[in-house]
Chain A
Amino acid sequence: MTPALDASVQVRSAPPVLSVRNLHAHLHLGDTVVRAVDGVSFDLPAGATLSIVGESGCGKSMTALAILGLLPQPAGRITEGEVWLDGVGDLARLDQRALRRVRGNAVSMVFQDPMTSLNPVFRVGWQIAEAIRMHETVSREEARRRAIELLELVGIPSPSVRCDAFPHQLSGGMRQRVMIAIALARRPKVMLADEPTTALDVTIQAQVLRLMKRLQQDSGAALLLITHDLGVVAQMAQRVCVMYAGVIVEESAVGDLFADPLHPYTRGLLASMPKPRHGAARQALISIPGTVPPLSRLPAGCRFAGRCAHVFSKCREAEPPLVPVAGDLGPGARKVRCWLHVGSEAA
């Protein structure tokens, strides 16, 4: 199976279940405004997997939280943009009550930090059972039985004992799998998964990823997958958005991105992956020099200009738009935000 091929088919045919349009989510800290999400747009077709990758702190988690109306309070606010969910409407305009219903049913989220989203004072089995009972009328015993089944599916050993454990009694990876079990319990249309497998070893990771794929096949759920693991991206996603300092700087089919990254940031990122050493002496890893500008004091031009090896005068004057690369049009087009790639037809 080559994900890159399915991608073009899926992306061109299926209508999006989730469509994010020009989303701005800002965090207010006294006088400073952190522009965590600063004009992000993407479409997530039914049954598809879209990955978001990017620099730590660039706004990936805030994008997911903004979609669900879970921005940190009181600092966070959606200041502009729309979040269209198929069959529901614009989530950015719903009140908290309506959003809570959406979160219990149509959209579920696996949070980056399981300890903050699991309730420390309840046993994990109970928490999963509650998620089941939120959208289905089943007896307590039945919900418990299903919770145990889900724990087994995500690879927790002796699930009927572990289901009575409190979150702090589980290892990091087990907690992460409990989160995934809760998300699956809701049988969502859209799953937002923020670093869902970082705490898992590679064999359990493979098992969990297969489980998520199966859920997608069975129920047509769409997956928004935020991860730093480019191996996971390559194995799971059909399309990828690369974020940098609050904006998407490149969007393309996964095959194209790995074969021929266009944005200088994406290139730097792919080059930074540690390579198999084959017994050779340790060499310093490649990394992108410099640091990301603070999201509260962004430069005028391209946000990557301060670290870019190709920077030229125009880059410091105006921010490049995210536009399809020359010759590539239509819904599956590659897009990049870099003056090097702004062709005549895009202007």
Chain B
Amino acid sequence: MSAPLLEARQLRRHFPVPGRLFRPSTQTVKAVDGVDLHVARSETLGLVGESGCGKSTLGRMLVRLDRPTAGELFFEGENIGDLDETALKPVRRKVQMVFQNPYASLNPRQTLGDTICEPLVVHRVGTPESRRKRALELLDIVGLQPEHYARYPHQLSGGQRQRIGIARALALEPRLIVCDEPVSALDVSIQSQILNLLTDLQGRFGLSYVFISHDLRVVEHIADRVAVMYLGRIVEEAPVATLFARPLHPYTQALISAIPLADPARPTPEVILEGGVPNPIDPPRGCHFHPRCPLAEDRCRVETPDLVGTQEHKVRCWVVNRELASSS
């Protein structure tokens, strides 16, 4: 196997818990708690998991918008986990992010045209005239009109803003884009156009994506491999077809069975996940999933399972791994 484009080893990011006045807090949120992953050239890694499990935090570290609390991060073989802003500049040109919250990530005082051109200006690419042309081209690519060039972010609908975020990420023709819920605000027809565009660019330029989404049908369509996160850790990782055909981790199984069907005559099964949502401030001991897990046994409540399995399909679960070991 050739060296991956991006590789993370035991990445962590911890946040202090907000305290109250005169009661500063000593607790931390372990938003990302030891993640290993890799992304090859021309590959799409899907990243799914419960809301608040750390996907955006992980994504921001992968593009080095945030500095990891611990762990290593390699891009094209270079350790970029610790680089400072100057040293990062050439990397920034090659990795981009589409943000989950398009509104907060757009400068309200900048026209959309200037917003899209900004990365080109920062990296001194082209002339004002060529940048303008490129911005208009990108507007068209994401299904917006030339008249949007001079508009401001607040003058757009939610889905239009999301597409500006995509256009901006594409401007520098990066090698890797971390897409955080890039199509969640789009109707399915425009969603199709954008997904087809991403696939097409990948085919032409060998782009790689980390694709974060709650829409599992979209992930199934776009991803080559999928990593499932639960409370700061990856609990399962497999090629997309395997994951959807034979999910192993009990959390992945619950997730896949909760996809709402677009069929009014077939109600979605009541969610099988019992118990409260886990607390990243004080995560359960042992396997983080054990309080809600139908398979949990004594060991799960005290010891943390590792992410193990074959090169292809890895899962973090005592019971599943024991059964796999005994059946092989």
Contact = CB atoms under 8 A, between A and B. Distances in A.
Query: What range describes how many residues of A lie at the interface?
Result: 35 or more
B161 to A, nearest CB: 8
Main secondary structure on chain A at its contact with chain B?
loop
Contact of B264 (A115, A174, A206, A254): A254
Contacts of B144: 291
18 contacts: A27-B155, A56-B163, A157-B277, A158-B281, A164-B18, A201-B50, A201-B255, A202-B260, A203-B258, A234-B264, A235-B268, A258-B264, A269-B189, A274-B192, A274-B220, A274-B221, A279-B241, A284-B199
A274 B218 contact: yes
The 7 nearest A-B residue pairs measured at CB: A173-B51, A56-B159, A231-B260, A287-B192, A285-B192, A279-B241, A157-B279
Point out which of B52, B255, B278, B281 has the most chain A C-beta atoms below 10 A from its C-beta: B52
A115 B104 contact: yes
B312 to A, nearest CB: 14
Contact of B188 (A113, A199, A269): A269
Interface in B300-316: none
B190 interface: yes
A239 to B, nearest CB: 11
Given A158-B281, A172-B101, A273 B50 contact: no
Interface residues of B, number: 77
A199 B102 CA distance: 12
Contacts of B270: 206
B4 interface: no
B227 to A, nearest CB: 14
Interface string A165-190: 11001111110010000000000000
A275 B216 CA distance: 11
A230 interface: yes
A145 B4 CA distance: 50
Interface of B: 15, 17-20, 27, 48-52, 56, 100-101, 103-104, 143-145, 147, 151, 154-160, 163, 181, 184-193, 195-196, 199, 214-218, 220-222, 240-241, 244-245, 254-255, 258-265, 267-268, 270-271, 273, 276-282
B262 A273 contact: yes
A8 interface: no
